Amino acid sequence: MILVTGGAGFIGANFVLDWLRASDEPVLNLDALTYAGNLENLAALQGDGRHVFVHGDICDRALIDRLFAEHRPRAVVHFAAESHVDRSIHGPGDFVRTNVEGTFTLLEAARGYWSTLEGEEKAAFRFLHVSTDEVYGSLGPNDPPFAETKAFEPNSPYSASKAASDHHVRAWHHTYGLPVLTTNCSNNYGPYQFPEKLIPLMIANALAGKALPVYGDGRNVRDWLYVGDHCAAIREVLARGRLGETYNVGGWNEKPNLEIVHTVCALLDELRPDAAGPHARLITYVADRPGHDRRYAIDARKIERELGWRPAETFETGIRKTIAWYLANQDWVAHVQSGSYREWVERNYGERRA
């Protein structure tokens, strides 16, 4: 079996669902169920013996040692993290704890387990660390996209904590020989994304007739990748990636935020028209995010050259699927918009009023 951490979150849940659609290899899913973790994401697996869920923390060394000993996973796919830049600005401590200390704890436990293996079992073991393009910092308008050789220049508490975790993963390979792989991916979107991130927030607010808060001038650029394509890239790297290497994963799809918001509005106008007028009337410029990175772009040629991976979705097909999913899953959205979600919205947006 494989051990997945953070498999009740957005990308982790998509990964687990896709994995078990394509294979019968069981998944041991370790997740602390923070505000971002949600067992409803995995409802389709209820009663499925191939999915073993453990409610626990990646900082809990004794628990992880026990899981390795009992389940003897052949690989770790490590998603668990605090993942939202705005939350990292308000409370960086949780990011250092989970992203740095948690990754360290997992590396140490994996190293302890791997050192007990022999022969083929030892040679086949993998530790795949899922990371972000944000570790590379911010690009100017004419800079080349991030290659794997680009120096790390993280600018937010989130990206600094992920960069630190990437460095630990690298060091555990060079120093101890742990068979690691790292992926650095651009912004994902798709089903089950928590409505604090740009695309699901805009969909949820537009459907509720609420303001669509665009930070700064709306011209910050991100590269967007459909989550299913990210999961496919991770499966390729796990199966055939070269040990100790990092692979950048992206959609060849750079867009300014304002264009993303207008696309969401236009699709909602088509699929769920609002009698009050076009959804774009709700766009509201609000105070910028402190330290807001201007542009991210990914050079994804290495993973294509070595592993033959390319995104299957275009932005047009992926965003249409995503909006259709949110329209069909309004209950899911309502359930995650709990009291603590409303507190977060007030905390993040209350102080930014246009």
Q: Work out what residue 163 binds among ligand TYD, ligand NAD, none; the CB cut-off runs from 5 to 8 Å by kind.
A: none
Q: Work out what residue 85 binds among ligand NAD, ligand TYD, none; the CB cut-off runs from 5 to 8 Å by kind.
A: ligand TYD
End-to-end CA distance of the chain: 50
Q: Closest approach of Cβ 277 to ligand NAD, in Å?
A: 31
Number of residues that bind ligand NAD (CB under 6 A): 31
**Alpha-carbon span 318 to 54, nearest angstrom:** 31
Determine phi and psi for 172, rounding to 5 degrees. -70, -25
Please say if 134 is a catalytic residue.
Answer: yes
Residue with smaller CB distance to ligand NAD, 37 or 73: 37
Side-chain-side CA neighbours of 248 within 13 Å: the count stands at: 22
Binding positions for ligand TYD, 174-213, rule CB under 6 A: 187, 197-198, 201, 213
Please say if 158 is a catalytic residue.
Answer: yes
Q: Closest approach of Cβ 118 to ligand NAD, in Å?
A: 30
Single out the catalytic residue among 134, 166, 229, 313. 134
Determine phi and psi for 193, rounding to 5 degrees. -80, 130
Binding positions for ligand NAD, 39-98, rule CB under 6 A: 57-59, 79-83, 98
Figure out which of the listed residues 2, 27, 32, 267 binds ligand NAD, where binding follows CB under 6 A: 32
Tell me, residue by residue from 123 to 162, as one string, x for binding to ligand TYD by CB under 6 A and - for no binding: ----------------------------------------
Number of residues that bind ligand TYD (CB under 6 A): 12
Query: At 350, which helix (H) or strand (E)?
Result: helix 339-350
188 lines the binding site for ligand NAD (CB under 6 A)? yes
Tokens of 212: 């669509």
Residue with smaller CB distance to ligand NAD, 97 or 111: 97
Tell me, residue by residue from 100 to 139, as one string, x for binding to ligand NAD by CB under 6 A and - for no binding: --x---------------------------xxx-------
User: Based on the number of CB atoms within 10 Å of its own CB, is 217 exposed (0-12), middle (13-18) or buried (19 or more)?
Assistant: exposed
Range 116-121 contact pairs with CB under 8 angstroms and sequence separation of 24 or more: 121/74
Figure out which of the listed residues 4, 9, 145, 212 binds ligand NAD, where binding follows CB under 6 A: 9
β-pairing, 254-256 with 221-226? antiparallel
257 lines the binding site for ligand TYD (CB under 6 A)? yes
**Alpha-carbon span 309 to 306, nearest angstrom:** 8
Residue with smaller CB distance to ligand TYD, 76 or 203: 203
Q: Kindly report the length of the chain.
A: 354
**Alpha-carbon span 6 to 111, nearest angstrom:** 20
Amino acid symbol at 259: E
Please say if 296 is a catalytic residue.
Answer: no
31 lines the binding site for ligand NAD (CB under 6 A)? yes
Mind giving me the DSSP string for 275-297? TT--GGGGEEEEPPPTT---B--
Residue with smaller CB distance to ligand TYD, 111 or 352: 352
Query: Residue 17, Cβ neighbours under 10 Å: how many?
Result: 21
Question: Are 321 and 226 within 8 A, CB to CB?
Answer: yes
Instruction: Enumerate binding residues for ligand NAD (CB under 6 A).
Output: 5-6, 8-12, 31-34, 36-37, 57-59, 79-83, 98, 102, 130-132, 162, 185, 187-188, 194
Could you list the active site residues?
133-134, 158
